[in-house]
Structure 1
């Protein structure tokens, strides 16, 4: 990415009035040479911001108070525009002390997390209802529809990014523009969180933020105060995912009796070494797209479970978010419908030669830990997709200076309201925690426990 030179503080901010948008006023609420988020007052039209360091990016934002969070907090929606690509976001101020509380961003593709898991509201059959366990209980909370092609995010001509590394540039630019523009958040503690495929992309997004901080310091800007990375049931390592699933099905690792027959388990375990050997040779040691695809197909067969399905909670949400009045209130300008998942995006990311899902992000996590960014890996014990066992194995395989200390720690129970809620271990910035009775989406089944787990981690307190 090309970065412009900042000639003066005034050049840091270019507030651009476009058709249908409003000029953002500089007033007594301006903070440290930037704007206050409170200066965005219009619920009818967008205010647009750009930044000299990111000449190809701009941010449109509008007030949407009362949407989803009915407790009186200020809420905002908008887009980050990158040439002809447009990423949609939601921002909810903390219900406690927005002027002082940390900022946390949740990313899991579209905004499933907002409406069924940890947002200020949850989807019910007749609409949205209050969520008392929202993560904006005492944190300012972001949601981002990414990459282009999911949620309300779109491209003018159908173009999209095709790798996680490409998507990281846009996400890091948005984060930088937001924190630089709205002075009250500059230097505020920041946490990046997500689940499932976030195990692949979140470490890369966070690494881009850390690397951009070097440029920010050189230009006299305040670096992003990235404190931690939080990943739930993360898809971080393709091979471990399938191998761990065998153990989940053939032992009591879920807390339940083995789910597969004895003959089924014997067959899968006999094939597991071939899966490991083939995948390692053609997807890790060397990367040959054709051979790697063949190895992947074999390994998926080894880990497959007939009739296995994670969930489908998204149909009602998509219908609601495609209602014309809801789209108008949020400022959704994408020409197509809201979509929670996109087959086209999945195909673009995972077609040869990208095969994005086959690349492990473990090395990025290792480097973030080495730079003092704390990491929480948590997982529901009933998930067979990205299981707690796969996440624990992934943590044990990390090559970093805290490896010996972390691997030497034993799992111990952690409690919530006097009851054992799971097991945990930690050392030198890395924390692992399982959540009993939860599946792939921990906050769906265990919303109170999930909030407690994350709050304790963010505060640096013991579970």
Structure 2
């Protein structure tokens, strides 16, 4: 299949085309996959999987999804969270009626260089968000050259976890490029309208102060002893100090590695004794067993590394073996100091220019918990800060988008919003909200993209 073609949706890629119906509605969509060679790099190739909207592809918005890490493949999210299908243990696929391409034209992208199926020359190695922003901009230029029908379409960047870095960095780069007076007239117009981040790490200095607070949760799960909770609060001061030092001099010796290790050892490590999944405290996890697999899906790796699937996807021979995470990318971004950097100021720039911003967080997640995410949104300096902070927190009532209007009302969380900025705490969800609450996540993103009240 040529990269510029859009083919019918395959729910079983190695077996043929399948049209899946729900009631009288057929959820047939077109898709494309392949590589875009980045014009700004030496020999860098980014792998994408794109799905047209199941509803109105000619008018629905154009949305990019970035999984975090750093170094995690967006193909994992596509096949376990918010993509058109999921993978069964027997490696067959299952149609996902709550895919985010129900009302949006969606790209899932493997980035930075070396993540998932993306690859480049040694000279193309990425180190930080400066690389991320520039690379995503040039990926989009290459993509829109292949599919010019999406140029000028309302465009949003979404992601989760370390996407709290990626998403603001990419959006800010595009925002600045759009404002440049000397922009090349031959470049495609990227009509950036907003960003959405789920359970993100965006402002470490603020967020690090709230890890011990997760010991008091709506699930009545004790995660720390009183002594351990008190010690974590003390240790958070040290981690914040180290993080500030890293931010001031990221390449000064090993300070950034030490700062990140402080987070790992003192703000995350103590929770292991509770034997809970740090990505979803509602799940039991035997953390004392080094071979325990908690929250992972080994079928995804088997599926994406199968000969048949890789042949179908035209995976380049130079691409790495697919892994959910790239240890090399994570190590590089940590040592370079990117992990500890703040990106809330980028968010403020976007909001102040009237772009829409949604921050949401599942409240069963420890890694990038909802309390810290709420804290940095309240701390954010922007033109509407006073009104946002004074706004009443109210119930977030979601509706199943696949059922008739008004037939469902889900007490899904708590929302605070003012004008173009919103924070949503999502109940009964961990680090990956679309996986745990697919109907709620789809309703939330649909309302955000349509600029409807939450």
Q: Report TM bin, short chain.
A: 0.7 to 0.9
Kept in 2, the 8 Å contact 1:275–1:299? The answer is yes
Q: 2:87 corresponds to which residue?
A: 123
Kept in 2, the 8 Å contact 1:379–1:391? The answer is yes
Aligned-pair CA distance for 1:413:
0.7
Q: 2:426 corresponds to which residue?
A: 435
Aligned-pair CA distance for 1:159:
4.7
Matched, 1:393 2:357: no
1:373-408 Cα offsets, whole Å, 9 max, x none, are 111000100000001111111111211111111111
Say which SS state the counterpart of residue 55 (structure 2) adopts: coil
Distance 1:454 1:166, change over 3 A: same
Kept in 2, the 8 Å contact 1:61–1:78? The answer is no
Q: CA RMSD in A?
A: 2.2
TM-score (norm 1): 0.81
Q: Which runs of 5+ in 1 are unaligned?
A: 1-42, 47-59
Query: Among residues 434, 439, 447, which one is paired with 2:438 in the alignment?
Result: 447
Q: How many residues align?
A: 401
Matched, 1:327 2:293: no
Distance 1:333 1:454, change over 3 A: same
Query: Among residues 66, 88, 91, which one is paired with 2:50 in the alignment?
Result: 91
Q: Which runs of 5+ in 2 are unaligned?
A: 12-17, 20-26, 280-293, 399-407
1:186-209 Cα offsets, whole Å, 9 max, x none, are 211111100000001110101111
Q: 1:237 corresponds to which residue?
A: 203
Query: Among residues 42, 65, 68, which one is paired with 1:106 in the alignment?
Result: 65
Aligned-pair CA distance for 1:135:
0.7
Distance 1:368 1:151, change over 3 A: same
Counterparts of 2:410 and 2:161, CA distance in 1 = 26
Say which SS state the counterpart of residue 81 (structure 2) adopts: helix
Matched, 1:338 2:303: no
Kept in 1, the 8 Å contact 2:47–2:117? The answer is yes
Q: In the TM superposition, what are the counterparts of 1:213-224 in structure 2 within 5 Å? A: 213-215=178-180, 218-220=183-185, 223-224=189-190
Distance 1:415 1:289, change over 3 A: farther
1:242-297 Cα offsets, whole Å, 9 max, x none, are 32211112x23x442542112222222233334434433x1345554434443443
Matched, 1:407 2:389: yes
TM-score (norm 2): 0.82
Q: 2:288 corresponds to which residue?
A: none
Counterparts of 2:47 and 2:256, CA distance in 1 = 34
Counterparts of 1:256 and 1:241, CA distance in 2 = 22
Q: 1:153 corresponds to which residue?
A: 118
Higher mean Cα deviation, 222-231 or 431-440? 222-231
Structure with larger RCO (C-alpha < 8 A, sep 6+): 2
Counterparts of 1:318 and 1:457, CA distance in 2 = 32
Aligned-pair CA distance for 1:87:
0.6
Q: 2:229 corresponds to which residue?
A: 265
Kept in 1, the 8 Å contact 2:204–2:243? The answer is no
**Which consecutive aligned stretches of 4+ in structure 1 deviate over 6 angstroms post-superposition?**
none
Aligned-pair CA distance for 1:369:
1.1
Counterparts of 2:263 and 2:117, CA distance in 1 = 34
Counterparts of 1:284 and 1:156, CA distance in 2 = 29
Distance 1:400 1:319, change over 3 A: same
Aligned-pair CA distance for 1:121:
0.4
Kept in 1, the 8 Å contact 2:32–2:49? The answer is yes
